Structure 1
């Protein structure tokens, strides 16, 4: 049933056969293409009352409805990095999707270059990284001693990293993904065959909610030390690729990656930040 504040577009013959994500610009012009695709991913843009993919070609006479009750007025992804939590040893900094953790030669400024401005000191150094499309907490150690302390805690399995994840398909029970991974290829991780004996390289997943219409499951994923692309690769190899993962899953370029590092906890320090797609 349409809500009073929903926005609609009755598609004319002149507008017909365009992609849904393009036609949404007529309804929510304040959102970028990425923001409009996020609406589609969240099931808030309907065609004749049914969710459709971003590339769906809308026919003449069909009605597009955008649910506006909790639709953001602008792109949350446009927000920049900020300090989530800090003490005399560590600082948890929010990295938005689309920003590199580390500056690349010829590739623009990364989060690391902003640490002196954000933290007011020049000895801060990142001790974990997030992929370019992943949002959430990146930890900075404030000095060499703090970095050494973090490495000891991480190697002892005392650093717990919790992620919010949205995956394709239905995940019904908590599972520990133990598959050993080969990270030697810098572009894409592959399975080695067999399970890893190291719990620091395992991924624990727990279903939080299932959307039967879109056939997607919201998960909580927990890793300890972790490895490059570990959560993305483990879930894809478990036949539940992350929504928006163009490297390990079936989604097209332009969709956002629904992977967010939302909580980091270790002795004496804890930081938490919700994803912008909650």
Structure 2
């Protein structure tokens, strides 16, 4: 099902020389910029009566805008009663502490049992928001904080804030290898040239920037705090593997097990049994999309990562003169 909509407006003086998609996003804030861009490319937008098809088209004050577009209904998914760890909620947004094993959005092989299904049950009106308000994702086995928009205007503002790099997301992780200092990875990320389900650092990819600092050093591992400047798929996992320090337990980018020499049987067993990437979204800070208030949330590190750190800390304490530099 779909519905036909008609939108009218006039380009304002302050919008002189702006891109058409930017102008329309300002004029019609109930619709996302990506949706508006699609309408332009599908020739559903007119300027002073002339059809335009390029989102980059520059506008002039006083131009008449007419949008005749077909608003496709979102694919409908079923609500499911699932427990959610809601850190914060108001009329416009929710902040959720996602557990390991929870897929964010239905896809091939995972038609239900996802965060999206749970959101539809918890907040039925969110069905009117594209992607049930999901504006950014965490991988299935990454834990921690996510913000969800409950209304279309909130989603539009949050997406714009993400694109403008105005939302701060920090993570804790445990990486393989002994890292001596923090730094920044500025390396484009795109699809792996041969392994299509994987991402990789590639010149043809999209810009990706990750900042990291060392929190604690172990014999053959390092505990890190990381901050995303961009939000590419698998970004932290790919960037750390690119540095030759993949995350502990990462089933895709982790490579072979690399325990410290003379590792105890307990440590070996623990590392072999840690089956997810040791990555947790620990802090989220943003301006509320409606009120403009700066808000910040923290999520405690989950038990499995606490146990991992304790095991590595005990191993290091038992072998203080035996640091392995990788």
Question: 1:159 touches 1:225 (CA, 8 Å); kept in 2?
Answer: no
Return the alpha-carbon distance in structure 1 between the equivalents of residues 141 and 234 of structure 2.
Answer: 11
Question: Which digits, 9 at most, give the CA deviation of each residue in 1:219-264, with x for residues without a partner?
Answer: 0010033100110000001010000012111257862220111111
* Cα deviations by residue, 1:173-193 (Å, 9 ceiling, x for unpaired): 120001111137651112214
Q: Give the TM-score normalised by the residue count of structure 2.
A: 0.55
- Which of 187, 190, 200 aligns to 2:197? It is 187
Task: State the shift of 1:172 in Å.
Answer: 1.8
Contact 2:190/2:204, CA 8 A, preserved across alignment:
no
Is contact 2:211–2:229 with CA below 8 Å preserved after alignment?
Answer: no
Q: What residue in structure 1 maps to residue 212 of structure 2?
A: 205
User: Closer, same or farther in 2 for the Cα pair 1:242/1:154, shift >3 Å?
Assistant: same
SS of alignment partner, residue 220 of structure 1: strand
The CA distance in 2 between the partners of 1:126 and 1:109, in whole Å, is 15
Contact preservation (8 Å) 2:136, 2:147: yes
Q: How many residues align?
A: 195
Larger radius of gyration: 2
Residues 1:132 and 2:140 aligned together: yes
Structure in which a larger fraction of residues adopt helix:
2
* Distance in 1, Cα, partners of 2:90 & 2:126: 16
| Counterpart contact for 2:102–2:114, Cα < 8 Å | yes
Residues 142-191 of structure 1 show CA distances to partners (whole Å, capped at 9, x for unaligned) of 11100110012112211111011000011221200011111376511122
Distance (Å, rounded) in 1 between the aligned partners of 2:123 and 2:145: 15
In structure 1, list runs of 5 or more residues that go unmatched: 1-78
Give the gaps of 5 or more residues in structure 2.
Answer: 1-81, 258-271, 288-293, 307-326
SS at match of 1:122: helix
Alignment of 1:159 with 2:167, yes or no, is yes
For 1:67-92, what per-residue CA distance to the aligned partner results, in whole angstroms no more than 9, with x for missing partners? xxxxxxxxxxxx95310122332111
Which residue does 2:113 correspond to in 1? 109
Tell me how far 1:133 sits from its aligned partner. 1.2
> Greater relative contact order (Cα 8 A, min sep 6): structure 1 or 2?
1
| Whole-angstrom distance in 2 between the partners of 1:271 and 1:130 | 16
TM-align CA RMSD: 2.4
Contact 1:82 1:118 in 2 (8 A): no
- The corresponding residue for 1:275 is 301
What's the counterpart of residue 255 of structure 2? 250
- Whether 1:232 and 2:237 are equivalent positions in the alignment is yes
Q: Is the 8 A contact 1:103 1:110 kept in 2?
A: yes
Query: Corresponding residue for 2:98?
Result: 95
More strand by share: 1
Range with greater deviation from structure 2 (259-268 or 157-166): 259-268
Q: Provide the C-alpha distance between the structure 1 equivalents of 2:177 and 2:295, rounded to a whole number of angstroms.
A: 35
Q: For 2:90 and 2:139, locate their aligned partners in 1 and report how far apart those are by CA, in whole Å.
A: 25
CA distance, structure 1, for counterparts of residue 108 and residue 200 of structure 2: 27
Determine the C-alpha separation between the residues in 2 that align with 1:195 and 1:114.
Answer: 33
Match of 1:74 in 2: none
State whether residues 162 and 220 of structure 1, in contact with CA within 8 Å, keep that contact through their aligned partners in structure 2.
Answer: yes
1:216 has 2:242 as partner: no
CA distance in 2, matches of 1:265, 1:180: 25
8 Å Cα contact 1:244-1:251 kept in structure 2: no
